[in-house]
């Protein structure tokens, strides 16, 4: 790291200029320099020394002419260990809500005020608090990478008031509606799938990624190891569950075990009927000829089943919410519900289903008061 100083004499008198080196562009490896100027030699020497010290501290990052849009494109390309669907979600958020306003701005000129104004404008345009919070999280993550790449000295997203998400109360069915749905499901070949969904809270991707090798019917358990998700190029492929806690073992009720045994027997009969044309994919839930069941096919069957049961429409993911709501309302310990859902923390479960835990607290308060009243009504025993 060094700088070269030169004296220049012009119409406005004497000026001193310096050209100092910057760290190479972390994305291209190309050499970068910065020009400084001052009216005296002493001042230019001081500015060069301060700049060299700032570079050594990592506080003099310079993205050059890189725009926010150009940086975002490079950042998205560099993401590693991120599911294709998540990368698409990040790209769509930035393309729709951040880049129209900030994309042409030089990255080095991006300020906390720019971000605060972006959030205010998007909120005024009707963007939900939850989407605003996600947009902030994505921008913060991207700009933090810019700091690590020496493109920015500080992350401007750290100095704004982050939007607060407002988690909507999930749409659910009550226990009677779940029972009605399962009674209709018993009349279909997919009964085992719907019993699993309603009694374990498994995600759609986890149900479609379930292999027979992950199921132990003798012990009445299954292990969630995989999830079928949309991957690169829009193809459906097998991957890991959504979170680390998503890898879990679930105990199954006798009714679910019986449904899975019936499902396996039907699948074996179909294998014999199709003969060589049967494609043994190893999945629990498949088409009649053994191919993996497509999510769109499952969605169509779900809609027909709701209509047959005469129930109000509920998104398929609502079965997961319904399981958690009914389990908590019935007195199941939140820690057990958290583990069965595969949530990363118990606080996530309690926050997500606060509408249930509020009524649980009222019931707990009433029970405690009843205990006190019962104790007060007991005759006193005195020592004679």
What is the SS3 string spanning 257-302? HHHHHHHHHHHHHHHHHHHHHCCCCCECCECCCCCECCHHHHHHHH
Reading the block at residue 209, the tokens are 């990624």
CA dihedral 85, 87, 91, 97 (to 10 degrees): 80
Assess whether 76 and 7 both reside in one domain.
Answer: no
Residues in CB range of 11: below 8 A, 6 or more apart: none
Report the distance separating Cα 71 and Cα 99, nearest Å. Answer: 11
Residue with the two structure tokens 């909120």: 123
Whether 316 maps to a domain, the answer reads yes
Report the distance separating Cα 176 and Cα 327, nearest Å. Answer: 13
Assess whether 111 and 259 both reside in one domain.
Answer: no
Length of the chain: 384
Report the distance separating Cα 325 and Cα 337, nearest Å. Answer: 9
Give the N- to C-terminal CA distance of the chain in Å, as an integer: 94
Assess whether 184 and 306 both reside in one domain.
Answer: yes
- Specify the CATH number for the domain of residue 78: 1.10.150.130
Three-state SS sequence of 165-197: CCCCCCCCCCHHHHHHHHHHHCCCCCHHHHHHH
Assess whether 192 and 280 both reside in one domain.
Answer: yes
Q: For the chain, how many helices (H) and strands (E)?
A: 15, 8
Range of the domain at 9: 3-57
The SS3 call for residue 222 is strand
Assess whether 237 and 330 both reside in one domain.
Answer: yes
Whether 168 maps to a domain, the answer reads no
- What pLDDT shows up at residue 168? 66
- Specify the CATH number for the domain of residue 278: 1.10.443.10
Sequential pLDDT tens for the chain (384 residues): 455 788 888 777 788 888 877 766 655 667 777 777 888 888 888 877 877 766 665 544 556 678 999 999 999 988 887 777 788 899 999 999 999 999 999 998 899 999 999 999 999 999 988 899 999 999 999 999 988 887 888 899 998 988 877 666 788 999 999 999 999 999 999 999 999 999 999 999 999 999 999 999 999 999 999 888 876 666 777 777 777 778 999 999 999 999 999 999 999 999 999 999 999 999 999 999 999 999 999 999 999 999 999 999 999 999 999 999 999 988 889 999 999 999 988 888 888 887 776 666 777 777 778 888 888 888 776 665
Assess whether 23 and 147 both reside in one domain.
Answer: no
Whether 130 maps to a domain, the answer reads yes
Among 17, 86, 76, residue whose Cα is nearest residue 243: 86
Q: What angle do CA 15, 66, 142 make, to 5 degrees?
A: 130
Enter the pTM of the model. Answer: 0.64
- What pLDDT shows up at residue 1? 43
Whether 259 maps to a domain, the answer reads yes
Assess whether 329 and 277 both reside in one domain.
Answer: yes
Report the distance separating Cα 228 and Cα 209, nearest Å. Answer: 5
Domain count, the chain: 3
Assess whether 28 and 74 both reside in one domain.
Answer: no
Q: What count of Cα atoms within 13 Å lies in the side-chain half-sphere of residue 26?
A: 15
Whether 242 maps to a domain, the answer reads yes
- What pLDDT shows up at residue 151? 83
Last residue of a domain, one of 130, 159, 188: 159
Whether 169 maps to a domain, the answer reads no
Assess whether 106 and 230 both reside in one domain.
Answer: no
Assess whether 26 and 151 both reside in one domain.
Answer: no
Assess whether 216 and 236 both reside in one domain.
Answer: yes
Assess whether 257 and 131 both reside in one domain.
Answer: no
Report the distance separating Cα 86 and Cα 176, nearest Å. Answer: 36
Whether 224 maps to a domain, the answer reads yes
């Amino acid at each position: 790291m060094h700088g070269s100083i030169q004296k220049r004499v012009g119409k406005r008198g004497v000026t001193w200029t310096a050209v100092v080196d910057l760290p190479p562009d972390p994305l291209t490896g190309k050499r970068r320099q910065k020009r400084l100027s001052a009216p005296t030699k002493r001042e230019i020497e001081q500015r060069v020394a301060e700049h060299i010290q700032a570079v050594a501290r990592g506080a003099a990052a310079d993205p050059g002419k890189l725009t926010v849009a150009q940086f975002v494109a490079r950042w998205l390309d560099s993401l590693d260990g991120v599911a294709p669907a998540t990368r698409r979600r990040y790209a769509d958020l930035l393309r729709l809500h951040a880049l129209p306003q900030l994309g042409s701005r030089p990255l080095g000129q991006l300020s906390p005020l720019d971000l605060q104004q972006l959030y205010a404008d998007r909120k005024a345009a009707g963007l939900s608090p939850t989407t605003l919070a996600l947009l902030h999280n994505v921008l913060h993550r991207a700009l933090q990478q810019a700091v690590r790449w020496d493109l920015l000295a500080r992350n401007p997203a750290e100095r704004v008031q982050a939007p607060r998400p407002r988690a909507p109360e999930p749409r659910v069915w009550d226990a009677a509606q779940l029972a009605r749905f399962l009674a209709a499901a018993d009349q279909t070949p997919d009964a085992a799938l719907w019993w699993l969904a309603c009694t374990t809270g498994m995600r759609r991707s986890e149900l479609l990624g379930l292999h027979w090798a992950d199921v132990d019917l003798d012990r009445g358990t299954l292990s969630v190891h995989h999830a079928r998700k949309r991957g690169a190029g829009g193809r459906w492929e097998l991957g890991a569950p959504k979170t680390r806690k998503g890898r879990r073992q679930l105990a199954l009720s006798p009714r679910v075990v019986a449904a899975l045994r019936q499902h396996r027997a039907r699948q074996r009969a179909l294998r014999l009927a199709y003969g060589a044309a049967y494609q043994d994919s190893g999945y629990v839930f498949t088409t009649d000829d053994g191919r993996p069941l497509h999510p769109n096919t499952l969605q169509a069957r779900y809609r027909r089943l709701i209509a047959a049961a005469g129930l109000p429409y509920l998104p398929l993911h609502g079965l997961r919410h319904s399981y958690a709501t009914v389990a908590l309302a019935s007195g199941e310990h939140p820690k057990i519900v958290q583990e069965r859902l595969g949530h990363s923390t118990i606080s996530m479960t309690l926050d997500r289903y606060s509408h249930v835990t509020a009524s649980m607290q009222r019931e707990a308060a009433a029970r405690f008061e009843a205990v006190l009243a019962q104790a007060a009504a007991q005759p006193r025993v005195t020592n004679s």
